[in-house]
Structure 1
């Protein structure tokens, strides 16, 4: 695959004003972004995601390392490199709140050297695609946060740049609008052949729309792989088994010895055990014990692993993981 962005040994250090203490926001990070993919930058608040996005789009100068955009070094030919990038920053800071929806689109088209006449058809298409047509004459400061976010993405689309950077695109949105924004981003990547980088701490968004995710913690890359591979890496087979009787103390101790981490939840009528198994064949071992002890089983449910659980395991260091994604 062809890399459209290459980040090499990037570093950014801030100085605290009062104490002059150094805070390393980005610590020797390297990765590449392939043309046409949707890449997620995932990490807790303060991990360095926004700093990374701001350096890629030219708002911050790295202290060390380099960023290559479509073959152009951003530190040597900054303006040439940034012509390939549009950014949607958290808080919709790339909108003018006292202009209407349509006026914002016309204004930012003008900033790119495009006349409103030449761009009129594209603006109409974006208003329709983003469900903003009935709000085209509304002032931005009167729009809902979701409408503002959709407009910000539409503005980014105007430039026809190959790369769109989005910093927390679903932050503060209601569930319905969040899903609408996700679908828009997927259709943009597929239908317009754009490369999209999303910085977020929303695991659901990353899992739903990204091909690959880079997990950042304390300014370092701690995971870099396809979402599916990360799911498989940390997959444990979690089961919830409802029993038709209570366990004796002897039975409980025996089960815990054979299956460490097993939880026993008794109640007035029935009881439940919850257990994580590393291999599918272990379920047969568990049922052999239950059968041998004549413990009746009423129901069994398989619990589904989700990306939030995986993310927490990665940042807590429960499993070492660092894979270089092939470019």
Structure 2
């Protein structure tokens, strides 16, 4: 049995950028290397929700861009279902989609149906297949009654549900969710989280989730990777990560179990040699 099937596997990914900085009018530009991602390894299995956590500047966006074949790693290997994802990046793009939080990536003057028709056409989906898929997706995200309403009249929650429909229009095998509940009220955010769980459990999608809401990661993720300054500083289930904190801190009688937010901040501070 091939250990690389039914998952994305990244091994020892590195991404460096060469920057040129001005030093003055008559001096040559100085070259500087930025190490955005430093030798990280990640697995995203189908049917599971994998978390990628870290504060701003941790390297999450660069990692997602590499995993989705938008940018090429400086070094390391990346496979999807055993296929070289760097050499076959167009094949990868057909089987993956990225869903961002907020209100980007939609055309507000178009209706939900018109948006999905447009994005479906970009993936080569057309005709009755596209029509049937649009109807099904709008039903899944609860927008059937608003199908012909211009997006500019949608609430934030409705726009985010449409974002998820857009991200599923090519029936991807893997979905990267970047802050999917950003700015949503607690009721709508709960609905989005339930939908994310359904995508993994019922539809067998491989889901990668980034979020600033630690409680969201704690509720949804089967496995979590923690990045800081481009490096992987911890990984495991939420219980594994809490155990790391529990074993390394001083034992105090009747101490409460640490939550994931406390664990995350401890791991980041510990990796930087700081002690809260």
TM over 0.5: yes
Aligned to 2:15: 12
Aligned to 1:308: 261
CA distance in 1, matches of 2:142, 2:20: 45
Aligned to 2:169: 158
Q: Is 1:56 aligned with 2:100?
A: no
CA distance in 2, matches of 1:94, 1:177: 19
SS of corresponding position for 1:21: strand
**Structure 1 residue 68 displacement after superposition:** 0.9
Q: Is 1:317 aligned with 2:270?
A: yes
CA distance in 1, matches of 2:246, 2:148: 50
Q: Which of 145, 149, 152 does residue 156 from structure 2 map onto?
A: 145
Do the aligned partners of 1:9 and 1:29 also contact (CA within 8 Å) in 2? yes
Aligned to 2:28: none
Q: Which of 20, 45, 51 does residue 40 from structure 1 map onto?
A: 51
Q: Which of 76, 87, 100 does residue 87 from structure 2 map onto?
A: 76
Q: Which of 67, 70, 79 does residue 78 from structure 2 map onto?
A: 67
SS of corresponding position for 2:21: coil
From the superposition, tell whether residues 178 and 67 of structure 1 become closer, same or farther in structure 2 (CA, over 3 Å).
Answer: same
For 1:226-305, list aligned pairs within 5 A: 226-235=237-246, 278=251, 282=253, 303-305=256-258
Worse overlay, 160-169 or 104-113: 104-113
**Which structure would you say has the larger Rg?**
1
What TM-score results when the alignment is normalised by the length of structure 1?
Answer: 0.73
**Structure 1 residue 313 displacement after superposition:** 0.5
Aligned to 1:171: 182
Q: Which of 162, 185, 190 does residue 201 from structure 2 map onto?
A: 190
Q: Which of 98, 104, 116 does residue 105 from structure 1 map onto?
A: 116
Do the aligned partners of 2:178 and 2:211 also contact (CA within 8 Å) in 1? yes
CA distance in 1, matches of 2:97, 2:69: 11
- Runs of 4+ more than 6 Å apart: none
Q: Is 1:117 aligned with 2:90?
A: no
What TM-score results when the alignment is normalised by the length of structure 2?
Answer: 0.85
Per-residue CA deviations over 1:118-152 (Å, capped at 9, x if unaligned) read 23233222212212122212222332332222111
More relative contact order, 1 or 2 (CA 8 Å, 6+ apart): 2
Do the aligned partners of 1:70 and 1:81 also contact (CA within 8 Å) in 2? no
Do the aligned partners of 1:6 and 1:69 also contact (CA within 8 Å) in 2? yes
Aligned residues: 261
SS of corresponding position for 1:317: helix
CA distance in 1, matches of 2:20, 2:251: 49
From the superposition, tell whether residues 90 and 46 of structure 1 become closer, same or farther in structure 2 (CA, over 3 Å).
Answer: farther
Per-residue CA deviations over 1:179-232 (Å, capped at 9, x if unaligned) read 111111001111111110012232111111010000000101111101122223
Q: Is 1:205 aligned with 2:216?
A: yes
RMSD of equivalent CA atoms = 2.4
From the superposition, tell whether residues 187 and 111 of structure 1 become closer, same or farther in structure 2 (CA, over 3 Å).
Answer: same
User: Unaligned regions of 5+ residues in structure 1, if any?
Assistant: 237-275, 284-301, 321-327
CA distance in 2, matches of 1:214, 1:318: 14
Q: Is 1:27 aligned with 2:38?
A: yes
Aligned to 1:269: none
User: Unaligned regions of 5+ residues in structure 2, if any?
Assistant: 23-30
